[in-house]
Structure 1
Amino acid sequence: MFAVAKEEFRNLAINIKMILLVILIALFNYNISNMLTSQLSIDGIPKAYAGLRIIFFILGYLLISIFSHSVLNKEIADGTLKFILSKVSREEFIVGKFLGIFLFWTMCMLINISMLSILGVTFSFYILWMLCSAVSYFISIVMLLSVLIKKENFSNFMGLFVGILFPTIGLYVTESSNMLVKYFQYIFPYFYLLKGGIYIMIPYILSFILLLFVVIIFNKKEV
């Protein structure tokens, strides 16, 4: 499991496009933080963290999907999965893939939060915990689509489509005053992330449930 996680993390970390993306996120966050003060906002979170919240709440799924949309179906299609499954179980393979992607994006967020702390903003473990909650949910959705869709190109298209549609619908139902529509807010992470506090744990729980579905579907796949 940890070998799979290490390999997935390494593949993301040495990708030049990924490195450029991390730099772009850092620059975007830096520019946003410069436009805002480090004074506390209403919810007690420094305003300088607004950039990171915008990036990972609204663009988080899209960013993860761009680089990990084929995290499972590619392994099945190119035949390398048979060799891997001779060394680890299917469950360990799924968890390893999840951990590798999760650790990479956690590192990305740590770099950005650390950069803000250098600029004089208080280092916030709460923000890190919140962003990791969002990322864990998005990774689980990306992996679910990857195991459901056989073709890599189509999973890429679906990733882009869902990446645009997901935050649009999610934020709409969260902020909607229509009670029939509002019930759907509970299947998206935004309601819990905006509520804050103990509610931040719920996207982690939803992520775990989604991963269970990934494992069940993956176990039925022939490789």
Structure 2
Amino acid sequence: MFAIAKREFFQLFKGFKSIAIILMLLVPTYYFAKFSSMFESALELTPDEADMAHSAGLLVVMIVFGQLFVMGLSHDTMNREMHERTMRFLLTRTSRKSIVAGKFLGILAFWFACITVSHVIIAIFSHRFDAFTFFQLMGLIACQVAFTVLLSTVVAVPALTMFMSIIAGILLPILGYWLAYTSNPWFSWMKYVDPNYYLVREDYTFLLMYVDAFILLLLSYVFFRRRGC
């Protein structure tokens, strides 16, 4: 499991696409954190609002583009192995459960590194490490990674998951925003399934995002166990 996670982790740092996404994550984080003091004085923000201003760039990027970034890099994490017939080799060395868990942990570790660096940048300017926001974001990313692994397990064609990742990356944030503010009783309850809903709450309900991620990962294992390789 850990060998698979290690390989997945280092593979994500290779290629122009990975570097571009890391830059798109870190650059807004840096400039929002750097110039947030200007907003504090101009808008007369409270201390809590000032802390939020420092991390606003990172939050906006991950809420709007997070799913697109995660799926853009890892949409074929499972079906690539099936398509290239390397999955059979992996199954001779380890279990299906370890493969799913290893893929998930490797991708999550990559984003853990990115979010940690982003928070270090924020801490340089805000002079504090916002652990609450950090674990909120990691909960969101855990859901996004688990959903990506699930999609890559269910859909066998890498080219198709690439197309679906673009659609999902665009539509899911829009759908989440609509669900958060709709008054339609037929749909309003669905906001509790959307991880973005817990990201804007200032309580520990964000821990439910980790539960959601576990459920998605469990579904990935169930589908993978039934799929022939």
Q: Do residues 49 (structure 1) and 78 (structure 2) align?
A: no
Q: Provide the TM-score with structure 2 as the length reference.
A: 0.91
Following superposition, which runs of at least 4 residues in structure 1 exceed 4 angstroms of deviation?
none
Partner of 1:150: 156
Partner of 1:199: 205
Q: What's the CA shift for 1:110?
A: 0.6
AA of the residue aligned to 2:116:
L
* CA gap 1:120/1:195 in 2 versus in 1, 3 angstroms: closer
Q: Deviations over 1:98-156 (max 9, x none)?
A: 00000100100111111122224411111110110000001111111111111111110
1:55-70 to structure 2, matched below 5 A, reads 55-70=61-76
SS in 1 for 2:129: coil
* CA gap 1:84/1:116 in 2 versus in 1, 3 angstroms: same
Cα pair 1:46 1:121 within 8 Å, conserved? no
Q: Provide the TM-score with structure 1 as the length reference.
A: 0.94
Aligned residues: CA RMSD: 1.6
Question: Percent identity of the aligned residues?
Answer: 27
Q: Distance in 1 between matches of 2:143 and 2:165?
A: 14
Q: Do residues 221 (structure 1) and 227 (structure 2) align?
A: yes
Aligned residues: 222
Partner of 1:90: 96
Q: What's the CA shift for 1:159?
A: 0.4
AA of the residue aligned to 1:75:
E
Q: What's the CA shift for 1:45?
A: 4.1
Q: Distance in 1 between matches of 2:19 and 2:103?
A: 20
Q: Distance in 2 between matches of 1:148 and 1:93?
A: 15
Segments of 5+ residues of structure 2 without an aligned counterpart are 41-45
Cα pair 1:48 1:121 within 8 Å, conserved? no
Q: Deviations over 1:40-90 (max 9, x none)?
A: 335x84311001111112211000000100011110010001111111100
AA of the residue aligned to 1:21:
I
Q: Distance in 2 between matches of 1:23 and 1:169?
A: 26
Cα pair 2:32 2:57 within 8 Å, conserved? yes
Residue among 119, 123, 131 paired with 2:129: 123
